[in-house]
Amino acid sequence: MNQDVIITCAVTGDDTKVTKSPHCAVTPEQIAATAIEAAQAGAAIVHIHVRNPETGAFSMETKYYREVVKRIRESKVDVLVNLTCGMGGYIVVGDNGLADTPAPGSDFCSQEDRMRHVIDLCNEGKYRPDIATLDCGSLNFGDGNRAYVSTPNYLRKGAAILRDLGVKAELEVFDTGNLWFVKQLVKEDLIPAPALIQLCLGIPYGVPADTGHLLAMVNSLPADTIWTSFAISRMQMPWVAQSILLGGNVRVGLEDNLYLSRGVYASNAQLVQKARTIIEAMGARVLSPAQVREKLRIG
């Protein structure tokens, strides 16, 4: 069991959820505000996507990330900022092969363009993130023709960019083969120790959200690893306890689950507080941002 627990809050509801819950943030001001509230409730790390404030669609624009990070930093609330680099990997294939591929909904681009906002903010120097994500493999998303594509060489390039920028890579693992390749990145010295690994369960069609699959991945983690796991929807809170029992940390938030209880929409802060209640009831403690920086060796 993990006695010293990091809470991450993934604050931005995914692309299907923004119209469902009144708590899903859209504008940079709203996203920053919900991140700050999550931090005040006990989250040491906030994981952030941004949206076009006019359309509500996910965006890759540096200007929106800059404004969110600026508002968080200027609030003086201490929290580690974790920016997604996951957008730009989707391909929707047509039913007729290359004749109608890529189909509408595709956003596939180079690894550098997926990370452009992180590169820009680091080069500017003022609002650089502490952590940025790499989605560590390709995956069918849902039942249709949508796939996320993240190849070994794209990931090598992304890991090298983050290493050279001095930004901690969070390695998001959606399937067992993803974890196999994470171990290869570590072997190639592309991931500075300790490796920060996020095990993502219950997302169709990656790893199912059950204890057997999680335990198998935990038993296969590379040495000198700090890991978190989460499961989506109604499994989010049970997974808080499950992750801690196996020695890991926890992630909650509206990216993965909208509800506090059946039929009751949650805010990010409420989800963090509920997770904190579970953690402390188990006899563990919640780590502060300063303690997490020391643990992750982030200067």
The residue ranges of every structural domain in the chain are 4-296
pLDDT at 16 over 70: no
Q: Quote the CA–CA distance of 136 and 60 in Å, as a whole number.
A: 19
What pLDDT shows up at residue 298?
96
Could you tell me what percent of the chain has a pLDDT over 70? 98
Residues near 73 by Cβ (< 8 Å), separated by ≥ 6?
127
- In angstroms, the CA 258 to CA 280 distance is 23
**Residues 170, 188: Cα–Cα separation, whole Å:** 16
Closest CA to 147 of 106, 118, 176: 106
Tell whether the model's pLDDT for residue 130 goes beyond 70. Answer: yes
pLDDT value, residue 213: 96
Task: Dump pLDDT digits (tens) for 58-117.
Answer: 899 999 999 999 999 999 999 999 999 999 999 999 999 999 999 999 999 999 999 999
Residue keyed to tokens 């935990």 = 218
- 81: amino acid identity, one letter: V
Q: Which amino acid is at 186?
A: V
Confidence of residue 13 (pLDDT cuts 50, 70, 90): confident
DSSP letter at 99 equals G
Q: Residue range 29-53: average pLDDT?
A: 97
CB 206 within 8 A of CB 175: yes
* CA 18 – CA 26 distance, rounded (Å): 8
pLDDT for res 299: 80
Question: What value does the mean pLDDT of the chain take?
Answer: 95
pLDDT confidence of 175, banded at 50, 70, 90?
A: very high
Give the model's pLDDT for residue 21. 86
CA dist list (Å): 252 to 20, 64, 197, 275:
18, 23, 15, 7
CATH superfamily of 4-296: Aldolase class I (3.20.20.70)
Per-residue pLDDT averaged across 140-146, rounded?
91
Q: How many CB atoms lie within 10 A of CB 251?
A: 28
Q: Is the peptide bond before 194 cis (omega within 30 degrees of 0)?
A: yes
Q: Find the DSSP H helices in the chain.
A: 28-41, 62-74, 111-114, 116-124, 152-165, 176-187, 211-218, 236-245, 268-281, 289-296
- Please give the share of the chain, as a percent, with pLDDT higher than 90: 94
| Residue 183 CB coordination number (10 Å) | 17
Using pLDDT thresholds of 50, 70 and 90, give the confidence band for residue 144: very high
Mean pLDDT of 137-149: 93
Distances from the Cα of 154 to the Cα of 62, 112, 115, 215, 221, angstroms: 21, 9, 11, 28, 22
Mean pLDDT of 232-249: 97
**For position 55, what pLDDT does the model report?**
87
Task: Quote the tokens at residue 14.
Answer: 């995914």
Please report the pLDDT score of residue 15 as a whole number: 60
Q: Give the C-alpha separation, 96 to 274, whole Å.
A: 47
pLDDT at 83: 98
Average pLDDT over residues 172-178: 96
Residue 3 confidence (pLDDT): 97
Which residues are within 8 A (CB) of 47 and not within 5 positions of it... i.e. 6 or more apart? 8, 9, 10, 11, 82, 83, 84, 133, 170, 251, 253, 255
pLDDT of residue 19: 67
Query: Residue 129's pLDDT is what?
Result: 98
pLDDT tens digits, 107-128:
999 999 999 999 999 999 999 9
> Residue 20's pLDDT is what?
80
> Which pLDDT score, from 0 to 100, does residue 14 have?
65
Rounded Cα gap, residues 148 and 267, in angstroms = 28
